[in-house]
Structures are given as C-alpha cells and as structure tokens.
Amino acid sequence: MATIAVLGTLDTKGREHAFVAEKIRSRGHRPLLIDVGTGEPPTVVPDIFREDVAQAAAVDLAKLIAERDRGACVSAMAKAAPRLLEQLLAAGRIDGVISLGGGGGTAIASAAMQALPIGFPKLIVSTLASGNTAHYVGTKDIVMMPAVVDVQGLNRISRTILSRAAGAICGMVEADVAVEHEKPLIVASMFGNTTKCIEAAVPILERAGYEVLVFPATGTGGRAMEALIESGLVAGVLDVTTTELADELVGGVLTAGPTRLDAAAKLGVPAIVVPGCLDMVNFGERSSVPEKFRGRTFYVHNPQVTLMRTTAAECAELGRIVATKVNAYSAAVTVLIPRGGISVISGPGGPFHDPEADAALFQALESGLRPDIPVVTLDEGINDPAFARSCAEALLDNIRLAATKR
C-alpha cells in the first residue's frame, strides 16, 4: 500500500479532492488529504490542516487570513506547501502527490511539487494545463492534466477526468522502476540540428563506462541540465548545443536564462563547450516573429518553429558571452569549433551559411578565452562523426585530468 498526498484548497474544492481520495482508496492505496486553502473552513476533514502546512514555513496564516489579501495568502501557501512535502518525503510518509485546481490551487501545488525530486510521482489536474505550463512545471517531471471543465462540482465530465487522474497517480506509484546508480553520469545538450553529433558521441562515452543523459536545448531542457549539474551528481558535461544563449541575447522563445553554462563553473565539473546552433534564434509559427525582425534571414523548421539567422554583430557578442562563461571554469574544459558548420543548416550551401557571421563568432570566442583553455578547431561540420569523436575524447581526457588533481 502506498500513501498518496491529495493536496488542495479544501475550502473551495473539498468535494472534488475527497472524490479523488476515495478513488485512490478503492485502488488499495492510502490518501493523505492536505488542506492548503486560506478562505472558508475546509468542506471535508483533512488529515493535515492548513495551520500545520503554514507552520512548516513559519507562516502566520491567521494574520494573513485576517488581512483578507488572497494574493498574499496564496503566496504564503506556495512557500509553505513545498516545505511540508519535503518533510513528509524525508519521513517516508508519502509515495506520490496529486492536486486539483484553478489558478491559485495550481500555483500552490506546482510550487510544492517542484520541491520534490525527479522520479517522484506528481500530477496536477488543472484548468491551466492546456496553455503555457513552463512556469508550473519548471525543471521537474510534473504531469499536468487538463481539467476540461472547471474544477467546481462533480458532473459527468469532471467525474471521468478525476477518476482517470486518480488511476494515473496510482499507476505511477505502482510502477516498478529499476534504476542503476553504478555508472557515473555525463550530461549532454542536443537540438534537432545537432542530433547526429550526440548520437555519434554517446556510444564512445558509454563504452568508457559512463551513463549519458541528453537534454534538449529548449530553454526548459537547458535549465534542467544546469540544475542536475548543480546537484553534484555529474562527472562531465558534453555541452555541444549552446543555442539557448542566442535566444537569451536576441529575444527568442527558447532561452534558458542568463545562468546557462554557469553550473559547471560553479561546481568545477570537467566539460567541453561547442558553439552549437548559435547561428539561430527560435520563434514559434512564422506569424509570431516580432515585427522588429522584418528583413532578417528565416528558415521554417516546421509549421510551429521558425528559425532566424544570427547576424555577425550578434555572433560576436555571443562569442564574448561564451568566452566569459568558460573563463570561469576551474575544472578542465576544452572549446571545440566546427568550421564546417555549427548546425545542419549553416554549412556550405545551407540556408544559414554565413561565413562572415561565423568568423565573428569564432574570433570573439577564441580571443576572449583564457590562454590556458585549449581550443580545438576542426574543418568538419558539427554533425560529422570525426567532430563528434573529438568532442567525446576531449571530454574523457578532461575527466581523467580532473581525477588526477583530486
């Protein structure tokens, strides 16, 4: 029998959470009802009261409720609920968590779930699940299920959705997950335009005894990779695809924020860094590209993704940014430059082939690096097997070098 936390605002959605709790109980598991409401008293009796949740983060809930500031109350619960779930997990009291909600409930539940480790079962049924969920999911594996109708009362639609959600969280806790921890970890960044490079490099690293986790360079993927590096679990970084820096600089939709590339420096993790896909900035469908970019060079990757070629001036600035970040690395790091193309579409004859922009990027990067940081320049394109092999072998050399200095 597993214990599944059923967390929600039981003043406004008590009946709905109780329905899910009963479905969980009927599957042979134990629901743990947790009230994070801040309005009227809960409509069902919780196992953990809102006052207990608030106490986990030393929140004066009574004072906030008396002030009748709903926004402040939701913010306070979004601060307290994560601390409570962390405590319950540390005590071995929960095996999964589910929540139902609208805007406020989703904000509280998602903040709480982001405090839990990757792999821990977490599911939110939300009225916001069909929109942009990036700020709710963050870098964690939170499953968001569209509520379809409002989470308000039980009807033929909501009963179906909530029953399926209860079955889903039960299935997640029942799943037998066999995880091997023996091999040291290497993380790698990849884009569609660098897939073949990673596909060729990974087997080399695996044969050397490493497990390789590949992260998509889609903003969220870059943040997730940085977070894992900061956890201290990573032995090496194969950062072939640094494209998110271009989106951060120019204003694309796949930025990973200004701290991309910083975790390896902070933790002293051996790495290789490649200016992969710094030739492109990502936008959505063609009509979504801001008017200020009229006249630029574009490539429609698919109906939902439009790529914009970076200019020589932007590339020069990106080279300076990458060099500044790499200069902060304390462990062994190597920069590899594929002069035959930094993406599939930037090589000779490709729609983003721009020797002037590439030269500006490479010159700024090389001239900005510390003299002791090795730069390996190859004539091949980024997806050439020879370039991929050079990346993998350079990383293995850096890992061995770091081990000799411990």
Write out the CATH class of domain 185-404.
Answer: alpha beta
Q: Provide CATH code, domain 3-174.
A: 3.40.50.12020
Nearest-angstrom CA–CA distance, 343 and 381: 7
Tokens of 207: 């044969």
**Cβ–Cβ < 8 Å for 275, 317:** no
Band (pLDDT 50/70/90 cuts) for residue 248 is very high
Q: Is the dihedral of CA 387, 339, 349, 360 positive or negative?
A: positive
Query: Which secondary structure element, helix H or strand E, spans residue 358, and what is its range?
Result: helix 355-368
pLDDT tens figures, 62-80: 777 777 777 788 888 899 9
**Cβ–Cβ < 8 Å for 35, 64:** no
Q: Is the dihedral of CA 362, 364, 365, 370 positive or negative?
A: positive
The pLDDT of 224-253, averaged and rounded, is: 95
Nearest-angstrom CA–CA distance, 78 and 152: 21
Among candidate residues 364, 361, 97, the one with its CA nearest the CA of residue 352: 361
Between 299 and 133, residue with greater pLDDT: 299
> Strands 234-239 and 271-273, how do they pair?
parallel
What amino acid occupies position 265? A
pLDDT tens figures, 144-178: 999 999 888 899 999 999 999 999 999 999 998 87
pLDDT tens figures, 169-186: 999 999 988 766 679 999
State the pLDDT at residue 38: 84
Beta bridge partners of 236: 186
Q: Percentage of the chain with pLDDT > 70?
A: 99
State the pLDDT at residue 5: 98
pLDDT tens figures, 2-22: 999 999 999 999 999 999 999
Q: Where are the alpha helices (DSSP H) in 208-354?
A: 220-230, 244-250, 262-267, 312-327
Domain residue limits, the chain:
3-174, 185-404
Among candidate residues 238, 255, 242, 246, the one with its CA nearest the CA of residue 198: 238
State the pLDDT at residue 179: 65
Nearest-angstrom CA–CA distance, 124 and 322: 38
Nearest-angstrom CA–CA distance, 337 and 367: 13
Q: Which of 35-44, 219-228, 305-314 has the highest mean pLDDT?
A: 305-314
State the pLDDT at residue 176: 86
What average pLDDT does the chain have? Answer: 94
The pLDDT of 91-110, averaged and rounded, is: 94
Nearest-angstrom CA–CA distance, 232 and 318: 28
Query: Which secondary structure element, helix H or strand E, spans residue 98, and what is its range?
Result: strand 96-101
**Cβ–Cβ < 8 Å for 393, 204:** yes
State the pLDDT at residue 403: 87
pLDDT tens figures, 290-345: 999 999 999 998 889 999 999 999 999 999 999 999 999 999 999 999 999 999 99
On the question of a common fold for 3-174 and 185-404, the answer reads yes
Residue 76, Cα to own-chain centre: how many angstroms? 24
Taking the model in full, what pTM does it have? 0.77
